[in-house]
Structure 1
Amino acid sequence: MDSVEKLRKEFKYWKHSPYFYQKHNYYESEWKDSYRMLVDSFTLSSSTFENALSKSLSYSSLWIMKLSPVGDAVPYSFKDLENMTLKFSRSQCLIHTMYDRLFADHQGNVAIKAWDFFVPQFPSYADHPDRFCNELEILTREDRDPCLMNLKGNFHLRPNFLAFNVSSVPCASNQFGWNARMKVATQLASLFAWFHERRYAFGTVRPKDIMIDNDFNIKVFDFGFLTPVTNEDNWGPLPYHAIREPPEARYGIQNLKADVYIFGILLVELIGNSYIGIEKKMAMHHWILRELQGEKKSIVNESILQDNDELPNGITDIAVKCLNEHPNERPDMVEVSTNLSNLVGAT
């Protein structure tokens, strides 16, 4: 962890400005044509920073510093990554995540995650370097959860990159049956609980951020945010987007109970296909209560599981509790994981 702490210290010293004010952050961004009005101010700021900081001997330390390997991760060069991704060709891009892109190695055995820095005026990008260090720490822990991607290498000069060993494909929740969905759900719950036991907020996770192998084992490679949580009342900017946010997100709260709500969304997406694409303007907790009006006790899609027994009712009950509008009334993820595993294992 010494290398991660060394890198974190450099980021903190420079307040991340050297990253954001490099011209290539604009020129290499695929969003550049959508933000033409920001070009002049951005390039002027970049030139100002470059001229001022290039005169400082300590400035160069961030760009020439040599890090010892972090865990088993191999320090890649930018040239290595360009060769692996055919210069980050769009044809090699597997997925666009919330802030990143996931590229496939042209040989097919490595996935490269690239943080997309673009224009420092966007506050949602300000914590990229911190998240990069947090992910390095998590992915190189001796007790790393098996549902996390296997880290193969990293690169921290210019935008940050992580490289993963892959034997999986992106997860699509409508492409597998009930038993597979339950395996994914229990693994996700266990992973959320693993993070919470180590006092990390997991953040927004979408199906597209999860890889799955032929045996329906998951590998998670991206998080909306990944941050240490010291108590249940942490405040800060949340990178949640639209329909996937818990109601307290409007107040800027990021805590473990917000993760429970996010898991509830993922669980609903696994057991009932009707929510996504139909009720885009309705918050999940309002939708699920509306669906369970009257005597209805389950939101499990009948095309997935047709038996109307205690299993779908029990899983629906878990989802309802996770999606409680009031954070303090939601269960913790260890309880959710235990109850879900017991319910699925008993059937």
Structure 2
Amino acid sequence: MDPFYASVREMRASMVSVEVIRRNFAEWDVSPYQYQKSNMDESENWCHPFWTANHANGFRKSFTETCKRYESFDFSIEPVVDGKVKHCSCSELDIITNFEDSLIQKTLTGRLFRGTIVEGSVSRPAIVKTWDYLLPMELENGPRLYKFCDEIELLTNERANKHPNLVKFYKCCFDRRLAVVYDAEFTRVLSDVLLDDDFGWDKRIKVAIQLADLLSWLHKNGIAVGSVTIECIMIDDEVNIKVFDFGYVSNHVNEDTTISALVRVGQEAPEIFSGMYADDEI
């Protein structure tokens, strides 16, 4: 087969739709991601501080045995010819970033890592954001699978991915580890520079205008977001920003959405508390 057509065929085989991912997640639930050995290996302290040695050993044994049941779990998802989501395997993700020594910071879903995208002889910087189930597992506060899909849906939206203040989606991984690869170079986050002596009025206004433009654009397009904090915003030397993390994203807000009295002013979009997404959780 001609190498060009072989590469096109391979690319199409790795493309899926968000809807297909959602259906598979609903079937799988979170266990295949919770019971991975890496969740213990990468934890800062997987053992509860009040556990006895016997309790810790018993938990380790139980967790390891459960992980074995998922070693052969099939994470493959049927490719869709017109799918818009590029998938990379866990082994490909390990090539993009080194999870041992490229950590940038923690995020609302997990962690942020530096990485490199290599295409042929060309390489460029990348950022990897994970959805973590590190031990000890706090299931009630663990990352939701539907939020993973919501963010991918936002960033692969043909209108959204052109906005200059949103990170650019490259690929995602749902093979044993949940992660999104952004085609971007990390410099600093807004929280690192906001209190600097030279971060004066002009720079603050420039940031505010960009963020206001992004939020206005999202609102016009019926997209609700929540918890966009200064730790979720990258900023470069020219004071250009890119938002890379959201506490909540919903791409299905409409003009009939009712606003609940439970709105936490300054934290979440009012549409989030309308109750219309109560059935979305996985």
3-state DSSP of counterpart to 1:226 = strand
Contact 1:21 1:42 (C-alpha < 8 Å) held by counterparts? no
Matches within 5 A, 1:292-303: none
Q: Give 2:170's match in structure 1, choosing from 140, 152, 157.
A: 152
CA displacement, residues 248-282 of structure 1 (integer Å, 9 cap, x when unaligned): 7xxxx4xxx54x5138xxxxxxxxxxxxxxxxxxx
CA distance in 1, matches of 2:231, 2:64: 34
Matches within 5 A, 1:79-98: 79-86=91-98, 88-90=99-101, 92-98=102-108
Contact 2:90 2:177 (C-alpha < 8 Å) held by counterparts? no
What percentage of residue pairs aligned between the two structures are identical? 30
Contact 1:95 1:208 (C-alpha < 8 Å) held by counterparts? no
Q: Give 1:174's match in structure 2, choosing from 186, 189, 195.
A: 195
Unmatched 5+ residue regions in structure 1?
235-247, 264-321, 329-347
CA displacement, residues 126-167 of structure 1 (integer Å, 9 cap, x when unaligned): 51x111110110001111132110112211111211111224
CA distance in 1, matches of 2:45, 2:210: 35
Unmatched 5+ residue regions in structure 2?
1-14, 117-122, 272-282
CA distance in 2, matches of 1:182, 1:25: 41
Matches within 5 A, 1:66-105: 67=79, 71=84, 74-86=86-98, 88-90=99-101, 92-105=102-115
Answer 1 or 2: which has greater helix percent.
Answer: 1
Contact 1:203 1:262 (C-alpha < 8 Å) held by counterparts? yes
Aligned-residue CA RMSD in angstroms?
A: 3.4
> What displacement does 1:17 show?
2.5
Could you tell me which amino acid in structure 1 is paired with residue 165 of structure 2? C
3-state DSSP of counterpart to 1:202 = strand
- Number of residues of Structure 1 aligned to a counterpart in Structure 2: 235
Q: Give 1:44's match in structure 2, choosing from 44, 62, 68.
A: 62
Matched, 1:113 2:129: yes
> What displacement does 1:83 show?
2.8
Using CA pairs below 8 Å that are at least 6 residues apart, which structure has the higher relative contact order? 2
Q: CA 1:28–1:192 in structure 2 vs 1: closer, same or farther (change >3 Å)?
A: same
> What displacement does 1:36 show?
7.9
3-state DSSP of counterpart to 1:153 = strand
CA displacement, residues 294-324 of structure 1 (integer Å, 9 cap, x when unaligned): xxxxxxxxxxxxxxxxxxxxxxxxxxxx9xx
CA distance in 2, matches of 1:222, 1:70: 24
CA displacement, residues 190-229 of structure 1 (integer Å, 9 cap, x when unaligned): 2223333344331112212111123222101111222355
Q: Give 1:262's match in structure 2, choosing from 251, 260, 267.
A: 267
Q: Give 1:142's match in structure 2, choosing from 153, 158, 161.
A: 158
Answer 1 or 2: which has greater strand percent.
Answer: 2
In structure 1, the residue matched to 2:141 is: 124
In structure 2, the residue matched to 1:11 is: 25
Could you tell me which amino acid in structure 2 is paired with residue 181 of structure 1? R
Could you tell me which amino acid in structure 1 is paired with residue 178 of structure 2? N
Give the number of the structure whose alpha-carbon radius of gyration is greater.
Answer: 1
CA distance in 2, matches of 1:46, 1:7: 27
Contact 2:109 2:143 (C-alpha < 8 Å) held by counterparts? no
Contact 2:106 2:112 (C-alpha < 8 Å) held by counterparts? yes
